[in-house]
Amino acid sequence: NAGVTQTPKFRILKIGQSMTLQCAQDMNHNYMYWYRQDPGMGLKLIYYSVGAGITDKGEVPNGYNVSRSTTEDFPLRLELAAPSQTSVYFCASSRLPGQGGGYGYTFGSGTRLTVV
Is the distance from CB of 27 to CB of 3 less than 8 angstroms?
Answer: yes
In the complex, the smallest distance separating the C-beta of residue 76 from other proteins, rounded to whole angstroms, is 15
In the complex, the smallest distance separating the C-beta of residue 31 from other proteins, rounded to whole angstroms, is 6
Q: How far is residue 93's CA from residue 32's CA, in Å, rounded to a whole number?
A: 4
CA distances for 85 relative to 32, 63, 66, 108, 113, angstroms: 20, 8, 15, 19, 8
Q: Which lies closer to other proteins via its Cβ, residue 18 or residue 28?
A: 28
Strand-strand pairing, 111-115 and 54-57: unpaired
Q: Which lies closer to other proteins via its Cβ, residue 17 or residue 95?
A: 95
In the complex, the smallest distance separating the C-beta of residue 80 from other proteins, rounded to whole angstroms, is 26
Q: Which lies closer to other proteins via its Cβ, residue 44 or residue 77?
A: 44
Is the distance from CB of 7 to CB of 111 less than 8 angstroms?
Answer: yes
**Binding region for other proteins (CB under 8 A):** 4, 31, 33, 35, 40-45, 48, 50, 58-59, 90, 92, 94, 97-98, 100-105, 107-110
